Amino acid sequence: MTSNRQSGTVHGGVVLLGPPTAGKDTVSVALADLDDRYGQLPKIKVGSGRTTGYRMADRVELDALRAAGRVVLETARYGNTYAVDRDDLDAMTRAGRVPVVHLGSVDHLRTFNSAVREPWLSVLLWVPRDVCEARSRGRGDRDTAERLAAWDEALADLAAVPAEEELFQLLVRTDLAGPAAVAARIASEYGRGGRKHVPAGSLTAFL
């Protein structure tokens, strides 16, 4: 792992949003390889299935976090509940690190942005539907049909964003650039410190 620390004081973190196979996990790893400040924030998970990358909890603990006002975002999918703990975000930033958070919908992004204390860099990672299918089949997924359905949902979700609403600072096609190049672009934009959104209407043209 290398370190490529940028000068200046920049706060907040990076949000990656995109459909299945767009590369959220891959880009997160590439960011950490580029600059060891970056790290994917482990979400709290209440439920079953995959545990890697999550902080497993039970309902009692999640209720306590809610009562303490620590839940920045809570979502439900696949019969499980996922949450972002404000204390986890704060611990990373206090340590001089840059949290990377993966989100699944526009509403989740809106909720997250309204809950965090500082502006974050919001990045949409995107691939066309045929690329999503090819990537899914190429890695041996058994649920390619479900992933394509999720891609369709993501497209409808983004297409419904009002033209005047500015949600993202970066729109990136990961089928046109490799993970290292995408990570470098994200790090460069994060290092600028400014949070300039892509112009209104650009999202529709991008999709």
The per-residue pLDDT for range 153-197, each reduced to its tens digit, is 999 999 999 988 989 999 999 999 999 999 999 999 999 866 788
Identify whether 5 is part of a domain: no
Tokens of 179: 């993970």
Identify whether 74 is part of a domain: no
Identify whether 79 is part of a domain: no
The string of DSSP codes covering the chain is: ----PPSS---S-EEEE--TTS-HHHHHHHHHHH-TTEEEPPEEEESSS--TTEEE--HHHHHHHHHTT-EEEEEEETTEEEEEEHHHHHHHHHTT-EEEEEE-SHHHHHHHHHHSSS--EEEEEE--HHHHHHHHHHTT-S-HHHHHHHHHHHHHHHHTS-TT----SEEEETTSS-HHHHHHHHHHHHHH---PPPPTTHHHHH-
Tell me the pLDDT band of 19, cut-offs 50, 70 and 90. very high
Closest by alpha carbon to 15, among 118, 103, 139, 111?
103
- Mean of the pLDDT values across residues 51-56? 88
Identify whether 135 is part of a domain: yes
pLDDT at 4: 47
> β-strand 121-126 against 71-77: which pairing, if any?
unpaired
Identify whether 123 is part of a domain: yes
pTM: 0.90
pLDDT at residue 9 is higher than 60: no
Contact 121, 13 (CB under 8 A): yes
Select the more confidently predicted residue: 11 or 57. Answer: 57
Q: Give the integer Cα–Cα distance in Å for 133 and 19.
A: 11
Select the more confidently predicted residue: 124 or 200. Answer: 124
Q: Give the integer Cα–Cα distance in Å for 84 and 154.
A: 21
Tokens of 139: 């890695």
Q: Give the integer Cα–Cα distance in Å for 77 and 99.
A: 22
- Mean of the pLDDT values across residues 7-30? 87
The per-residue pLDDT for range 80-112, each reduced to its tens digit, is 999 999 999 999 999 999 999 999 899 999 999
CATH of residue 132: 3.40.50.300
The per-residue pLDDT for range 63-84, each reduced to its tens digit, is 999 999 999 999 987 789 999 9
How many structural domains does the chain have? 1
Residues spanned by the domain of 122: 14-41+86-206
- Mean of the pLDDT values across residues 32-60? 93
Identify whether 70 is part of a domain: no
pLDDT at 7: 41
Identify whether 75 is part of a domain: no
